[in-house]
């Protein structure tokens, strides 16, 4: 069973890196591509992330670091613009597994959930409101937009996920491996200065 989980994770990792799929969709598609029954147990996200890191190291080591830096610089711009709403970067751009096909996910912790949307309207930013799954599995409002990423020379999806200010307290608890699942504006600036992945 372990080798099957690893095979699904490796196939999913390829889909994540080459097609920009999210982990859930990549795992389901991997099961289908491998001709496995739909009810096959899926690997956890930690195994998929480890496979993504291996894939990047093997096949993208020459391009991915520059792509990640460009995406982090774009995230920094939007976090600075939205700094009144306690922005925290999350997802592949924060974890260091992003490629040019990855979107930027920024979580905003607002006193008033409508205030971030009003800020975008005031600055004439076109966005699309939608509902996404939050970090506790709950539905969360997101303001999605396309932004030019200068380092990549293309438009990248930026998703501003709206949380209540009180949600920030539990949001910074490290995961099972001791990693912080999201980073503040200062934490991102430190990553960019260090050149960390």
pLDDT at residue 133 in the model: 84
**Cα 35 to Cα 171: distance, rounded to the nearest angstrom:** 38
DSSP-derived letter for residue 137 is S
Give the length of the chain.
197
**Mean pLDDT by groups of 10 residues along the chain of 197 residues:** 90 95 94 95 94 96 96 97 96 94 96 92 94 87 96 96 88 78 94 81
pLDDT at residue 82 in the model: 96
Q: What sign results for the dihedral spanned by CA atoms 11, 16, 20, 26?
A: positive
Those residues with Cβ within 8 angstroms of residue 2's Cβ, 6 or more apart along the chain or in another chain: none
Q: Do the beta carbons of residue 52 and residue 13 sit within 8 Å?
A: yes
Asked whether the whole model's pTM tops 0.85, one would answer yes
> Both tokens of residue 2?
């372990």
């Amino acid at each position: 069973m372990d080798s099957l989980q690893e095979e699904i994770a490796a196939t999913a990792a390829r889909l994540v890196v080459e097609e920009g799929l999210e982990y859930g969709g990549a795992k389901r598609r991997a099961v289908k591509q491998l001709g496995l029954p739909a009810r096959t147990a899926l690997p956890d996200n930690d195994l998929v992330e480890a496979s993504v890191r291996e894939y990047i190291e093997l096949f993208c080591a020459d391009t991915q670091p520059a792509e990640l830096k460009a995406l982090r610089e774009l995230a920094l711009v939007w976090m600075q613009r939205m700094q009144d709403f306690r922005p925290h970067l999350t997802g592949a751009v924060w974890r260091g597994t992003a490629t040019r096909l990855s979107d930027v996910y920024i979580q905003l912790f607002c006193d008033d959930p409508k205030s971030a949307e009003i800020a975008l309207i005031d600055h004439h930013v076109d966005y699309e409101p939608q509902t996404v799954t939050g970090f506790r599995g709950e539905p969360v409002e997101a303001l999605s937009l396309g932004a030019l990423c200068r380092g990549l020379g293309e438009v990248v999806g930026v998703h501003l996920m709206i949380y209540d200010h009180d949600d920030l307290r539990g949001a910074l608890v490290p995961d099972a491996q001791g990693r912080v699942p999201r980073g503040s504006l200062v934490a991102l600036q430190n990553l960019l200065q260090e050149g960390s992945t």
